[in-house]
Amino acid sequence: MSQNALAAGLADLGLSLPETAQQKLLAFRDLLLKWNKTYNLTALRDPAQAISHHLLDSLAILPHIGAGDLLDVGSGGGLPGIPLAIVKPELSVSMVDTVQKKTTFLQQAVIELGLKNVTVHHARVEEMQGQYAQISSRAFAEIGLFISLTRHLLAPNGRWLAMKGVRPDDELKALPADIAVEAIIPLTVPGLDAERHLIILKAGS
């Protein structure tokens, strides 16, 4: 049943994924729910709901992911970082979280799923080094805070990808003058009856 639900959801998103990637997505979902019993990684307990609310929700931003290295901030249970890494094996994905038990889970998921393109960091993002073409977050923080904590990590011409529920107009109004909103994209996630938006931002000169 899970496989049919995932395949139907992917088709609704206009995504065509090889069988191996679909199996890996479901294996990740199972791993997340298994570890969740001890580690409290997500509020969701229902395997069917996890397909729409976690896997498909993460993959809804896939058309807007570029080719450069991606940093996923406050990864928690690995969303959207791990689903993106599964379906785009050529994409280098780094995930960072301050909570040790979450990074322990992420490290284990990377090993069990054989994800050669993922690096896990147990760190405070403001203390990290490096340059990333894309920096994503899902339910991590208010957009202004997300940008101020990660600005030193954004490569020249890089983009922030902030995943939000309802359109965060107040957060956008409060942004510094040199931050440009490149796009506000409403997302429709199959099986998820709630507003979703992807906010793409750039640093001005």
The reply, when asked if residue 127 is annotated as ligand binding, is no
**Edge-first strand listing for the sheet containing 70-73:** 118-122, 93-97, 70-73, 132-138, 154-164, 196-203, 179-187
Distance of alpha carbon 47 from the chain centroid? 19
Tell me how far apart the alpha carbons of residues 35 and 134 are, in angstroms, rounded to a whole number: 28
32 is in an annotated binding site: no
Ligand-binding site membership of 78 (annotated): no
For the chain, state the CA radius of gyration.
16
151 vs 163: CA distance, rounded Å: 17
125 annotated as a binding-site residue: yes
Backbone angles phi, psi at 129, to 5 degrees: -115, 165
Residue 79 known to bind ligand: yes
Which residue positions form the known binding site?
74, 79, 125-126, 138
Which residue positions form the known binding site for S-adenosyl-L-methionine?
74, 79, 125-126, 138
